[in-house]
Amino acid sequence: MKHYCSVLFLLGVILISSVIEAKFQTRVQRGQLLKHATQKYGLRSFFQHQHVADFRDYAYFGNITLGTPIASAPEQTFLVVLDTGSSNVWVPDNTCGLHDRRSACSRKNKYFATNSSSYEKDGRPFSISYGTGSASGVFGKDTLCFSDTTLCIKSQIFGQASTIAPFFANQEIDGILGLGFTDLAVNDAPPPFVNAVNQGLVDQPIFTVYLEHHGMKRASSGGYFTYGGEDPDHCGEIITWIPLTRASYWQFRMQAVGVDSVHENTAGWEVISDTGTSFIGGPGKVIDKIAKKYGAEYDEFNESYYIPCSTVKSLPSLKLQINDLQFEIDPINLVAYPDSKECDLTLFAIYGGGFGPSWILGDPFIRQFCNIHDIENKRLGLAHSKQQDDIL
């Protein structure tokens, strides 16, 4: 489980517009016939794209469905964070906040087991904690489908959350879907993509993440998760395959980091790539040193670094050494836009006391480099994103 500030817990003001939600729903409906054919006839999904919405480069969300509707029951759709930094799936259960109008579940989509003919009872309790949020309840099993695709996983273990932290009350998302490894999961519940591989539903044991930058805009289509293969439409050729040092998170070794030179900081650290974290996190002293190189000021109240947006074009890249190769993150991917004048420099300090990974390479890293996740060979591929830098 995460012990650091993730996208949900680093930011307290994430909202998705009703326009974005409507476009999500339209895309979900568009894929219904294909999805139900897959479920009925057991077709393989091979590789398929799922689009995600981009909230001002702070967060990326996607839709899933759970269950097989009975009679006239509606399909049960949930907006979730597709999170490579955790491994469990959970959504609010219909029992969440049942007798409490002030519950964080009061405005969430809720799961009704009685409305699904494919529901299976598990009954084991679960409890999961993140940076400033948590969820608890019991496990159940049902068919889980990724929106925009025909990829449906039968008997997927997921959390039926009867309690979620107050922090989630003002978040537009309903739940979280983990894309890490089983070793990271509470009660060793296999994550959905691991199950998809085990059930032979995808052509290759690979999923690819491509994230876009849209600045101050909210984009209903802000990137793609491709299940079962690479994404040549949005990503270049793979530069390198990085062997994982631990297959729980997507964890590997970073040798050095710097601004003017990659050799400015050469201690070497364990790092993870994480779609569920908005910024890049690292040891406090190193992060502060890098922030000063960019001329950033620290806002103690918001616990963030900021720079004038007018200076972004002239900033140098952030340089990383991984697998004996140098990777550069362009300034356009190192900022986020709370307003048009002051930009957030997407860095934050981690104080972990020596436990767990020292760095989190969040969305800025993934916007620059497509991440190709190889479950079977326990490695992470990096490829240049094909998005054009046209927002500044």
pLDDT of the residue at 137: 97
Residue 274 known to be catalytic: yes
Q: Determine the Cα–Cα distance for residues 244 and 250; give it in Å rounded to an integer.
A: 7
- Please give the Cα distance from 74 to 60 (Å, whole number): 25
Which residue numbers in the chain have pLDDT < 70?
1-46, 132, 353-354, 389-392
Catalytic residue among 57, 174, 274, 363: 274
Res 264: pLDDT = 98
Quick one: which of 197, 198, 215, 214 has its CA closest to 206?
A: 197
- Of 83, 93, 142, 148, the catalytic one is 83
Q: Give the pLDDT score at 268.
A: 97
Separation of alpha carbons 274 and 66, rounded Å: 24
Give the pLDDT of residue 76: 98
Does 365 share its domain with 303? Answer: yes
Give the torsion sign (CA, 27, 151, 228, 8). positive
Q: What is the pLDDT of residue 132?
A: 67
Question: 379 with 321, same domain?
Answer: yes
pLDDT of residue 337: 86
Same-domain check for residues 200 and 248: no
Q: Which residue in 313, 332, 318 sits closest to 261, CA to CA?
A: 318
Domain assignment present for 33? no
Tens-digit pLDDT profile for residues 139-190 = 999 999 999 999 999 999 999 999 999 989 988 899 999 999 999 999 999 9
Work out how many domains the chain is built from and give that number: 2
Residue 26 lies in a domain: no
Q: What is the pLDDT of residue 8?
A: 38
Give the CATH number of the domain where residue 174 resides: 2.40.70.10
Token pair in block for residue 129:
């904690």
In which domain, by residue range, is 170 found? 48-209
Closest CA to 37 of 150, 175, 171, 198: 150
* Full-model pTM: 0.88
Three-class secondary structure of residue 63 per DSSP:
strand
* pLDDT at residue 389, rounded to an integer: 56
Look up 390 and say whether it is catalytic: no
In a domain? residue 220:
no
